[in-house]
Amino acid sequence: MLQNWRNFLFASFDPAGYITVDKPPAAFWVQAAFAYVFGVHGWSVILPQALAGVGSVLLVYVLVKPAFGKTAARLASLVMASTPIAVAVSRTNNIDSLLVFTLLIATWMLFRAVRSQKFLWLLGAFAMIGAGFNMKMFQAYMVVPAFCLLYLIAYEGGWKKKLAVLAAATAVMVVVSGAWATVVEVIPPENRPYIGGSRTNSVLELAVGYNGIMRLTGMHGWGAGPGSAQDRRQMPAQDEGARPDPRQMPQGGENVPDRLQGQQEGSNAPAPAQMPPDKSGLPGAVQGSRTGQGSAPGFGGGRPQGRGGGAFGTGQPGPLRLFQSELSGQTSWLLPFVGFACTGLLAGVSRKRPLTAKQKETLFWLAWLVPAMAFFSVAGFFHHYYLIMLAPPVAALAGAGWVELWSQYRDRDGWKMLLLPAGLLATTAFELYVLQPYQRQIGISWSICIGAAGAGLALVLFIAATIKQKPAFVLALAAMLVLLAAPLYWACTPLLYGVNYTMPQAGPVQQGFGQRPGIGRGPGSGVNEKLLEYLEKNNTGEKYLFATTDANTAAPYIIETGKAVMAMGGFSGSDPVLTVEKLKQMVANKEVKYFLIPSVSGFVGREGGAAGEVLEWIRANSTEVPREEWQPNVIQSVPGGMRDGRTLYKIKG
């Protein structure tokens, strides 16, 4: 992206501008700006996300304090800082923490609009949602119901005026959302990169399809192109990226499948979100959003599984999905307490009285939380790190709710005084449920300590109705801090064990699975040194160093050399970018000479449609480069124990 303005504008995956990443470019522009200022390093690409994570914690404090007070704001910011998935994703170049930071800025502007009754602040808030759309498309729109609700219940004026103003704000959001897409669509396709992730080279189709309907339905309800359905049926189960049950995980990272450990040393299939080395030229080139399937080479083999199968280890769809072991350790620790907190915060709502500022903001955070929970409960295709969308409302409601429940307990406010100890006790029980599958990894002491302390303090609050106020406050606060112990440890696991840059998540299951930035060539860089040396030595001025099937294979070589490597099928190898006629023309123009593609016997039946025709044409019009010239002596393998099925081909003539 730093090599020219064309690549910067389109968020091109490769220096030659062959294909884009499968997301809009706004967040990648931020990463590129940091890389321009500080140089292209692993840390400079991660820095924007880390700062966004810290900024989100501060914004939660700023948002909660005016209505709920300092104590609530401090607790809310502590919960935000202790949210495991927020910490994990902020330590990678995945852009979700930037999206959440953007949406929290939008929330701050909305609150300013409500308190000042200024129209321009409202327009600014909805414009920021539009900016979020240009980061991760419809994921940013999860907060729109909350924004509309707060405006309607808090803004003064009649309903006609409210609806007119809301329509204007929505129009601003739509215009900002569509700005980049409009620019792309008016440029002839031959003058820009192919839109990665789309089937028709269209940003609109990318937004509605891969980044829209497919997220909800999986592969159902949206075509995946020729050959894809057949490819998915023939894919081995481990290629779907499912997370194993932690109760069955090997200890200390021993005997962990290669698929889950990340890239092998010297492998040709690196993790797509791998960090750039000091001298590369593509910051954040690969966002890692279509991982878990890219290591299976060949066109058409990488689209995600349909709903109902728990693809990517996200559990079974249903109302309790966020409480299942696959997801509960990421953002769900305090959800039971949030339920009790909302009961206390909204207990005084009555038609006879206008809503207070506390009640309005409680409804806002609920309107953010509930639709997001509903989506993740039924969605057919998402990754663990998307759950960072739940972190701000959970943090705000937990902090504000604790203060409100303490007030009701202190004032002996009838049945409401029981909400605090009941919420603490229920949440303690849920945390024990979350911890139970991990006892082999972290020991039973965590469960014993949290269970004894949390339940003990909650029971004391239950029975000590006459206890003095100050000791009761200390006990209630201590119980809340006990509930934060486990999520805080989960949040520390990316620091303790490293983080999987491809599919970031938190928890002790990451022992032996984490990846650290590969710097330069050699182990951990994802680059086959012998292959790279061969290609550089034999390059005779071709535009592309070599061509391969997917971005996972191409990324480390682009990062290492700054040279163009063609990912013929985009991120997963399934984008219908290339045809035989187009490839013939590129070969005739001496744009590409070498192809690293599946052997005929390596992945039989995995290719389909035009992609299969392209691969067959390459094999028929090329000669195999002897393996001893480009393969290291160490035998390379892929998941399942098979030999690496790729072959290096050189065009004849």
Residue 293, pLDDT score: 37
Residue 365, pLDDT score: 98
Residue 500, pLDDT score: 81
Among 68-82, 268-282, 465-479, 499-513, where is mean pLDDT lowest? 268-282
Paired tokens of 247: 């109760």
More confident residue, 577 or 228: 577
- H or E element in which residue 624 lies: strand 622-624
- Mean pLDDT (whole number) for 440-469: 84
- Mean pLDDT (whole number) for 618-637: 82
CA gap 514, 628 in Å, rounded: 32
Chain centroid, CA 593 distance in Å: 36
Paired tokens of 653: 């003539």
CA gap 188, 194 in Å, rounded: 11
Paired tokens of 474: 């200390």
CA angle in degrees (0–180, nearest 5) for 626-627-628: 95
> Residue 214: pLDDT band by 50, 70, 90 thresholds?
confident
> Residue 257: pLDDT band by 50, 70, 90 thresholds?
very low
> Residue 299: pLDDT band by 50, 70, 90 thresholds?
low
Residue 632, pLDDT score: 85
Burial label for 214, CB within 10 Å (0-12, 13-18, 19+), is buried
The yes-or-no verdict on residue 87 having pLDDT over 90 is yes
Q: Tens digits of per-residue pLDDT, 158-210?
A: 889 999 999 999 999 999 999 999 999 999 999 999 999 999 999 999 999 88
What is the share, in percent, of the chain residues with pLDDT greater than 70?
A: 79
Helix, coil or strand: residue 85? helix
The yes-or-no verdict on residue 351 having pLDDT over 60 is yes
What is the share, in percent, of the chain residues with pLDDT greater than 90?
A: 59
More confident residue, 368 or 349: 368
- The two beta strands, 566-567 and 622-624, are unpaired
In angstroms, the Cα distances linking 115 to 66, 69, 109, 263, 500 are 10, 16, 10, 51, 42
The yes-or-no verdict on residue 297 having pLDDT over 90 is no
Q: Tens digits of per-residue pLDDT, 368-398?
A: 999 999 999 999 889 999 999 999 999 999 9
Determine phi and psi for 166, rounding to 5 degrees: -65, -40
Among 42-46, 261-265, 401-405, 649-653, where is mean pLDDT lowest? 261-265
Helix, coil or strand: residue 547? strand
The yes-or-no verdict on residue 524 having pLDDT over 60 is no
Q: Which amino acid is at 91?
A: R
The pLDDT mean for the chain works out to 82
Residue 31 CB coordination number (10 Å): 26
CA gap 93, 355 in Å, rounded: 41
The yes-or-no verdict on residue 252 having pLDDT over 90 is no
- Mean pLDDT (whole number) for 297-326: 66
The yes-or-no verdict on residue 243 having pLDDT over 50 is no
> Residue 513: pLDDT band by 50, 70, 90 thresholds?
low
Residue 608, pLDDT score: 54
> Residue 412: pLDDT band by 50, 70, 90 thresholds?
confident
Among 272-286, 410-424, 471-485, 538-552, where is mean pLDDT lowest? 272-286
| DSSP per residue, 550-618 | SHHHHHHHHHHH----EETTTTTT------HHHHHHHHHTTS--EEEEE-TTTSTT---HHHHHHHHHH
- Mean pLDDT (whole number) for 430-457: 91
More confident residue, 44 or 299: 44
- The two beta strands, 547-548 and 594-598, are parallel
Which phi-psi region, left, alpha or beta, contains residue 468 (left: φ > 0; alpha: ψ -120 to 50)? beta
- Mean pLDDT (whole number) for 270-275: 40
- Mean pLDDT (whole number) for 348-366: 92
Q: Tens digits of per-residue pLDDT, 24-58?
A: 999 999 999 999 999 988 899 999 999 999 999 99
- Mean pLDDT (whole number) for 249-268: 33
The yes-or-no verdict on residue 300 having pLDDT over 60 is no
Paired tokens of 619: 């094999």
Q: Residue 651's beta-bridge partner residues? A: 622
pTM score of the predicted model = 0.84
Task: Give the residue ranges of DSSP H helices in 266-418.
Answer: 328-331, 335-345, 357-378, 391-410
Residue 381, pLDDT score: 84
